[in-house]
Amino acid sequence: MNAIWIAGPAAVLPPAVLLVAWRLRRRPDRARRLRRWLPAAAGTLLLAALTTLATVLLTAGTAAAYAPGATGGGNWAALLGAAIAVAGSSIGAAIAVAYTGSAALAALSERPELFGRAMVIVGLAEGIAIYGLIIAIILIGKA
């Protein structure tokens, strides 16, 4: 199982770099900014993968020595479900806030008296993330 977590970032990094390079070819107007951003992002992902690898390799023997019977890990599905709930709800809330926030700003520029109503709509969009967090807490409680 640890090999999947170690090899995951290393397996995702090359396709991500190729995808961004392909997108740069199609949009030369954004190429200059992305050429500066891409090496920094790739370096950060590589550093995170190497740090994870070093941590797993250095602590693998000590964790097994202190808890020989605790290697079953039967609650991984609930924890994975909690992570997916938080990630999905956060992404959904970000998309919802992006659209409702821009619409609220456009409405406020024309009619400033709509501030309260606009903030309620943006707050409802942010509530999506809170629902995901509640589901994650319930799932972690059952794990």
pLDDT band at 142 (very low <50, low <70, confident <90, very high): confident
118 and 95 together in one domain: yes
Q: Which pLDDT score is estimated for 84?
A: 92
Domains: count for the chain: 2
CB neighbours of residue 31 within 10 Å: 14
80 and 135 together in one domain: yes
Q: Which pLDDT score is estimated for 77?
A: 86
* Portion of the chain with pLDDT greater than 70, in percent: 56
45 and 12 together in one domain: yes
Instruction: Tell me the residue type at 79.
Output: L
**Which residues have a Cβ under 8 Å from the Cβ of 131 and sit 6 or more positions away?**
89
Going from the C-alpha of 32 to that of each of 28, 35, 116, 124, the distances in angstroms are: 8, 5, 40, 37
Q: What is the mean pLDDT of residues 51-59?
A: 72
Give the residue with greater pLDDT, 71 vs 21.
21
Last residue of a domain, one of 26, 46, 67: 67
Q: What is the mean pLDDT of the chain?
A: 78
Q: Which pLDDT score is estimated for 54?
A: 73
DSSP category for residue 99? H
pTM above 0.85?
Answer: no
pLDDT band at 72 (very low <50, low <70, confident <90, very high): low
For residue range 7-51, what is the model confidence (pLDDT) as tens digits? 666 666 666 766 776 666 666 666 666 666 666 666 776 676 677
CATH code of 138's domain: 1.20.20.10
Cα Rg of the chain, angstroms:
22
116 token code pair: 């309260």
137 and 100 together in one domain: yes
Looking at the predicted structure, is the pLDDT value of residue 104 above 90?
A: yes
* Domain enclosing residue 84, as ranges: 74-143
Give the residue with greater pLDDT, 2 vs 120.
120
